[in-house]
Amino acid sequence: MSFSIKFSIINHFKSDSIMQKIFNATDILDKRALEKFLLSEEILMENAARGIAEFIKIRAKKGADILFLCGCGNNGADGFAAARMLAGSFNVSVFCVYPPKSPLAKLQFSRLKTLNAKIVKSLPKSADIYVDCVLGSGQKGEIDKDFKKLLLDINAKNGIKITCDIPTAIYSQTPFKADFTLCMGALKAVLFEDFAKDFTGEIICCDLGVDRSKFEDETDMFLLEKEDLVLPIRERKNSNKGDFGHLAVVSGDKAGASVLSGLTALSFGAGLVSLLVKERLFEFNPSLMQTFSIPPKTTAIIAGMGLGKREFDLSWFENIPFVIDADLCYDEKIKKLNTAKCVITPHVKEFASLLEIFGFGMQRVEEIQRKRFFWAREFSLKFKGVLVLKGANTIIAQNGVLYVCPLGSEALAKGGSGDVLAGLIGALLAQGRTPLDAAANGVLAHALAALRFKGNNYALTPEGLIAEIGRL
């Protein structure tokens, strides 16, 4: 049995060309700046330092105590140069965590000393601003015990904390915990890894002497922002419920999950929502219809949430866009589905199962978390539909191209949040959005609705999240 969508697929997704780009590494961009724009490494460094200095000037009172923590390489050199630019207007101190070693670090340190700048040999009791210029993008491996203690001491202090490029020791257990990360030249992927979220603070990109549109090159990774959200606002006054799609939600052993998804879909514009039930549910919201088979004019399906051991008919998914979630991520039968019109929404444990089902072997959850971008890209090259890998920074992937939403909050770490997300994506699919469009806008609406919540971050319920969706 199959049904066809009665209206054309719509795409409201913003073009990649106007999204912020993200890069795994930017060394090649620096080299390109020299070759194409004749910007030497020293010129790039002066512009990086200028970016740090200007950012601080806006936020610091005249005479504020500013402590620069500098390393031995070019990240430290950025700090020496920025300290030079601020000396005079502020009470600037420089603590050399490691003595300058690279040629530019030595040069910038020499320039700084001509101003009789204050070089300290231990951590002051306090400062208004702490600036991390120790390791930058070249950091690798663990840090020594003394440096670990230093970072713990700094993180415990009051004052604004700013990091240059990448928080120092980001790959260790005790990174520098920044309020602001000033990313130099282009956004780095590591800043959007889940493990980095507690340490980056607000991420701001500074240019290096040429506009980012010129400095940056091609990439396969992009940033999703609040401005990218396109709500399903109804423009036509002469309309009826049939104009906004009919979503079928498969209800399983735990029917509450399908109810949450269905109510979410109604709140996000779906004209009709039917629960595909095994038996009649007597305690449920009357806004949702109940049926034992796919309604004839179904325009999208959601399946997997609370499904348990319920069997499903593969023919339900023929020629209809659908969302796969939760329990279905463990079912080998999904390999038999035509996933070209599918959005699949696993959390990391479910994603580990999907990787095994689709031939990538058994992967440990911890290893997947460490290489989320890698595995999302690899899976998306084999899976025909759209992947939504849920996490602190949710990744949306299709055909090797990744979109990262950094707006998720800890308030969403609660049972039922994923059911709401599935309902959002399903609602947009039902209204004719493309799978990629539905996934991106569903993820954004989910995150932004949580950010709107005014209560304590532990108190957000799925019902409260649904209420906030209607206020976006």
The CA dihedral of 191, 193, 195, 201, to the nearest 10 degrees, is 40
- The architecture of the domain spanning 227-469 is 3-Layer(aba) Sandwich (3.40)
HSE toward the beta carbon, residue 403, CA cutoff 13 A? 26
CA distance 54 to 205: 13
pLDDT in tens, 338-379: 999 999 999 999 999 999 999 999 999 999 999 999 999 999
327 touches 346 (CB < 8 A): no
Strands 289-291 and 322-324: unpaired
What pLDDT is stored for residue 273 in this prediction? 97
What 8-state DSSP symbol labels residue 269? T
Per-residue pLDDT, averaged over 51-55, amounts to 96
Query: Can you name the CATH fold of 22-217?
Result: Rossmann fold (3.40.50)
Q: At what angle do helices 462-469 and 255-267 cross, to 10 degrees?
A: 20
What pLDDT is stored for residue 303 in this prediction? 96
CA distance 124 to 107: 25
Assign 313 a pLDDT band (cuts: 50, 70, 90).
confident
What pLDDT is stored for residue 1 in this prediction? 39
**3-state class (DSSP) for residue 289:** strand
Assign 279 a pLDDT band (cuts: 50, 70, 90).
confident
What pLDDT is stored for residue 284 in this prediction? 65
Average pLDDT, rounded, for the chain? 92
What pLDDT is stored for residue 40 in this prediction? 93
Give alpha helix (H) positions in 60-184: 74-86, 103-113, 145-156
Per-residue pLDDT, averaged over 160-188, amounts to 94
Assign 5 a pLDDT band (cuts: 50, 70, 90).
very low
Assign 310 a pLDDT band (cuts: 50, 70, 90).
confident
Q: Specify the amino acid at residue 84.
A: R
Assign 283 a pLDDT band (cuts: 50, 70, 90).
low
Residue 416 has pLDDT above 50, yes or no: yes
What pLDDT is stored for residue 9 in this prediction? 58
Phi, psi of 393 (to 5 degrees): -120, 100
117 touches 87 (CB < 8 A): yes
CA distance 168 to 387: 31
Return the structure tokens found at 178.
């920044």
The C-alpha angle 397, 398, 401, rounded to 5 degrees, equals: 70
pTM more than 0.75: yes
Residue 322 has pLDDT above 80, yes or no: yes
What pLDDT is stored for residue 2 in this prediction? 40
Neighbours of 314 (CB within 10 A): 11
Residue 3 has pLDDT above 60, yes or no: no
Residue 4 has pLDDT above 60, yes or no: no
Domain ranges of the chain: 22-217, 227-469
Buried b (16+ CB within 10 A) or exposed e, 48-64: bbbbbbebbeeebeeeb
Strands 394-398 and 386-389: antiparallel
Assign 27 a pLDDT band (cuts: 50, 70, 90).
confident
Instruction: Give the least confident one: 113-117, 179-183, 384-388, 392-396.
Output: 113-117
What pLDDT is stored for residue 421 in this prediction? 98
